[in-house]
Homo-oligomer: A and B are copies of this chain.
Amino acid sequence: MTESIGFIGLGNMGHPMAINVLKAGYNMKVYNRDLSKTEKIVEAGAKRGIRPDDVVERGGIAVSMLANDEALEAVTLGHDGLLSRLGPGGVHVSMSTVSPALAHKMHELHEKEGCSYVAAPVFGRPEAAAAQQLWIVEAGNAAAKERVRPVLEAMGQGIFDFGEDPSHANIVKISGNFLIASAMESMGEIFTLAEKNGIDRTQVFNMLTQTIFGSPIYKNYGQKIAEKNFQPVGFPIQLALKDINLVLDAAEQARMPMPFASQLHDRLLSGIAKGRGENDWAELTRGIEDEAGIE
């Protein structure tokens, strides 16, 4: 018998992800705070709920993909939250980029209800989600992970398992975002050094990414930074600051300084102060130029 999936959160990422699950043959009931965003997927065959607990079956599978800690708490807890319905045997696959601390708290609250919280945050932009090319990092109860594996496979090109503690998947996820931002800052510094010396930024970019730095991150973000072309906005500076703050909070809990993260924090925060909060996070590198006196 086919599993039924309750899918919550149909934003830029959640929508294509849900479509892929639907295409894989699952019955699906969807919830989104802004109901208008559910039209397309309902046409494609999903049913619509009007509250989070509407879309979940007792002992079933819920998948959520939301913007931040607050949104995840809102759809999960409270009188019409999905947790009130999920019950014994149920599995909540939480794919949002949230704090490790919230993952931990959710884990405990789900256990209390006899169900499982599987953290499964993803790497990839909306295009990758549409193409079923996400990379998924999962952690949680082993049996629950096995049960939901086909669902995850419908959304990604690869799944990396980090054990039973859901917060571990979130630590890995935010670590990856930090690594991307670090690569951007370091490219920004050398492209600016090149520019100030009369060397073409793009030529430096080409050389490095055709040789020892040929990974997608360096190629994709490096080009934007080399060319100072930050359109379209994939991920805004203010969300990037949120993620770097999650990293710094985790480092604070773990009792360790992360000086590159602190530097990125200041770079992003200053970007917001200068009115660039809605711009793409690659534009954090404009702060390097400001400090160098480039107009």
A-side interface residues toward B, CB under 8 Å?
Answer: 100, 123, 135, 137, 158, 160, 162-163, 165, 167-168, 171-172, 175-176, 178-180, 182-183, 185-187, 189-190, 192-194, 196-199, 203-204, 206-208, 210-218, 247, 250-252, 254-263, 265-267, 269-270, 272-275, 287-288, 290-293
List B contacts of A194 (CB < 8 A): 171-172, 175
A197/B100 in contact, CB under 8 A? yes
List B contacts of A158 (CB < 8 A): 210-211
B292/A212 in contact, CB under 8 A? no
B175/A260 in contact, CB under 8 A? no
A196/B260 in contact, CB under 8 A? no
B260/A262 in contact, CB under 8 A? no
Complex formed: what's the CA distance from A31 to B189 in Å? 38
Complex formed: what's the CA distance from A203 to B165 in Å? 15
List B contacts of A265 (CB < 8 A): 257, 262
Which of A204, A252, A260, A291: most chain B CB closer than 10 A? A291
Contacts A259-B263, A263-B263, A270-B257 known; A250 to B193 CB distance under 8 Å?
A: yes
Task: Give the number of times this chain occurs in the complex, counting copies.
Answer: 4
List B contacts of A199 (CB < 8 A): 162-163, 168, 171-172
Q: Is the interface of A mostly helix, strand, loop or mixed?
A: helix
Complex formed: what's the CA distance from A259 to B290 in Å? 13
Which single residue of chain B is at the shortest CB-CB distance from A259?
B263
What distance in Å separates the Cβ of A169 from its nearest Cβ neighbour in chain B? 9
Which single residue of chain B is at the shortest CB-CB distance from A189?
B258
A175/B204 in contact, CB under 8 A? yes
List B contacts of A207 (CB < 8 A): 135, 137, 160, 172
B204/A212 in contact, CB under 8 A? no
Q: A175-B190, A255-B293 are in contact. List 16 more A-B contacts (CB 8 A).
A: A100-B197, A123-B212, A158-B210, A160-B211, A168-B198, A171-B194, A179-B186, A180-B212, A214-B215, A214-B216, A215-B218, A255-B292, A257-B269, A270-B292, A273-B291, A287-B291
A270/B291 in contact, CB under 8 A? yes
B266/A293 in contact, CB under 8 A? no
Complex formed: what's the CA distance from A262 to B251 in Å? 13
Complex formed: what's the CA distance from A259 to B193 in Å? 12
Which single residue of chain B is at the shortest CB-CB distance from A187?
B179
List B contacts of A190 (CB < 8 A): 175, 178-179
Complex formed: what's the CA distance from A207 to B136 in Å? 10
A135/B211 in contact, CB under 8 A? yes
**5 closest cross-chain pairs (CB), A and B:** A273-B293, A256-B292, A257-B266, A182-B186, A196-B254
B266/A262 in contact, CB under 8 A? yes
